[in-house]
Chain A
């Protein structure tokens, strides 16, 4: 199948490994990703918080361009996914805002008719491709790898009906089908604080410490996530957390597509694993499956 691909700003920079591994996995599974032509920032949480019509116009421009391409959007970044999904819902429900948005879009020859679905790659892998198909294409088993599956707060909440709000299982079932062990991890949808790490660092560091602690105590080798902001908070600030709370966390934080890509046979470079700040050697922990 073919999808419109919306990378978002993070996947072009700090979460490059996410972008690389999404491409690798979809390519391996015979799916085509067509990047939305000249896409712009989704507006993110702060845009949504400040000016309503403007924020809707900014995100709708992407929806309108994707509609021209005639394909559903795949948005890997949790925040982009949430914003684009939310914009779609608001425009569907509110005729006045829809008119306002379209009036602004028409200024540049665009118009949005609500015909685009916003989807997350995790859900696409499970619903469109299927766990069995993915498992049958695996070149390596993830046996021996203990994973804390961290979904973060955005993708399962609210009204997106993607998975259970408190105990989502999509990544768990995908990884266990590939041989990994999912550790007990009740913090799977707890909030990492997002931008609080910058605005109120004390609050942000505390939230992330709890997540790392939970993974550490349940003996996870790695934390796997779907969100670029969670990833950078947990990874890049791990030093600061260790210093502040006198802990010695040393847990690599990976994107779920990097794990799946590894199982499908990708090298560390192909999957952007070499970009990890906390060194990770998946090949050591998992052995090649004899096929």
Chain B
């Protein structure tokens, strides 16, 4: 699983890719309120113990920080761990050192998406992609649209399995047959365009 940096000619020297990933990770961690507490991790494993889904992860939350310290960020990004995280914040509230584990995992998700380090038919990417596509156009989420678009991208046959639930919810008036839109969708896309530009601007250190 772990690739390490043994392809580097000098022991301890980071290759370009790893360096780039580390820098952009650290920059984003700075934006988390209290993000600097990552330095204080004592590797106690409380995060792993409290995580309701750690049993199905390939590397545990504790190992994420250990691997980062061992300069193996590419191993973390390629893991299924960051995508299994359901963002319940158990680890964050129980960490004795105040490490913002959930927000750190969010940062790692972002980094993996930006660098496209995941399989193409990857379920979480398909879901978040569909979600972003919908919200950008409608300003609102639309559950049936999200589900249909998600299954078309991953496993169209499973869409049939969702049909009975769809009917049941529809009979109770809990599904909109047509997607709603916000009134000012034009304003929304103007804002998003500006935000897209601003996203990549890194201000100088003060």
Q: Find the A residue at minimum CB distance from B102.
A: A158
Kindly state whether residue A51 has any CB partner on chain B within 8 Å: yes
Task: Choose among B83, B84, B176 the residue that contacts A13 (Cβ–Cβ < 8 A).
Answer: B176
* Min distance, Cβ A173 to any Cβ of chain B, angstroms: 21
Is there contact, CB below 8 Å, between A49 and B106?
Answer: yes
Residues from 73 to 109 in B contacting A, C-beta threshold 8 Å: 83-84, 86-90, 92-93, 102, 106, 109
Is there contact, CB below 8 Å, between A9 and B140?
Answer: yes
Contact segment of B10-18, B59-67, B193-201: B193-201
Inside 8 A of A103's CB, which chain B residues have their CB? 194, 198
| Tally of chain A residues near chain B (CB < 8 A) | 61
A14-B143, A40-B139, A51-B110 in contact; A46/B131 too (CB < 8 A)?
yes
A12-B180, A47-B135, A207-B53 in contact; A107/B175 too (CB < 8 A)?
no
Chain A interface, >50% SS class: helix
* Alpha-carbon gap, A89 to B169, bound state (A): 36
Kindly state whether residue B39 has any CB partner on chain A within 8 Å: no
Chain B interface, >50% SS class: helix
Residue-wise, chain A 52-73 has the 8 Å CB interface mask toward B (1 for contact) of 1110011001000000000000
Is there contact, CB below 8 Å, between B87 and A100?
Answer: no
Residue-wise, chain B 181-206 has the 8 Å CB interface mask toward A (1 for contact) of 01110011011101110110101000
Inside 8 A of A105's CB, which chain B residues have their CB? 191
Is there contact, CB below 8 Å, between A57 and B191?
Answer: yes
Kindly state whether residue A282 has any CB partner on chain B within 8 Å: no
Is there contact, CB below 8 Å, between B192 and A57?
Answer: yes
* Alpha-carbon gap, A144 to B117, bound state (A): 54
Contact segment of A132-140, A187-195, A213-221: A187-195
Is there contact, CB below 8 Å, between A104 and B195?
Answer: yes
Kindly state whether residue B52 has any CB partner on chain A within 8 Å: yes
Kindly state whether residue A183 has any CB partner on chain B within 8 Å: no
Is there contact, CB below 8 Å, between A46 and B128?
Answer: yes
* Alpha-carbon gap, A9 to B87, bound state (A): 19
Residue-wise, chain A 232-247 has the 8 Å CB interface mask toward B (1 for contact) of 0000100000000000
Residues from 132 to 184 in B contacting A, C-beta threshold 8 Å: 132, 135, 138-143, 147, 150, 165, 168-169, 172-176, 180, 182-184
Is there contact, CB below 8 Å, between A52 and B110?
Answer: yes
* Min distance, Cβ A159 to any Cβ of chain B, angstroms: 8
Kindly state whether residue A153 has any CB partner on chain B within 8 Å: yes
Inside 8 A of B140's CB, which chain A residues have their CB? 9, 12, 40-41
* Alpha-carbon gap, A45 to B140, bound state (A): 14
Interface centre among A38, A50, A100 (most CB of B within 10 A): A50
* Min distance, Cβ B83 to any Cβ of chain A, angstroms: 7
Task: Choose among B139, B175, B195, B201 the residue that contacts A54 (Cβ–Cβ < 8 A).
Answer: B195
Inside 8 A of A127's CB, which chain B residues have their CB? none
Q: Find the A residue at minimum CB distance from B126.
A: A199
Task: Choose among A41, A50, A100, A101 the residue that contacts B113 (Cβ–Cβ < 8 A).
Answer: A50
Inside 8 A of A97's CB, which chain B residues have their CB? 31
* Min distance, Cβ B115 to any Cβ of chain A, angstroms: 13
A47-B135, A93-B33, A274-B172 in contact; A191/B143 too (CB < 8 A)?
no
Q: Which 3 A-B pairs rank lowest in CB-CB distance, beginning with the nearest?
A: A191-B88, A153-B88, A157-B89
**Contact sample, A vs B, 14 pairs, CB 8 Å cutoff:** A9-B142, A14-B169, A38-B182, A40-B135, A43-B135, A46-B131, A50-B110, A53-B199, A58-B191, A94-B33, A104-B195, A198-B123, A203-B56, A275-B172
Question: Which residues of A pack against B, CB within 8 Å?
Answer: 9-10, 12-16, 38-41, 43-54, 57-58, 61, 89-90, 93-94, 96-97, 100-101, 103-105, 107-108, 153-154, 157-158, 165-166, 190-191, 193-196, 198-200, 203, 207, 236, 274-277
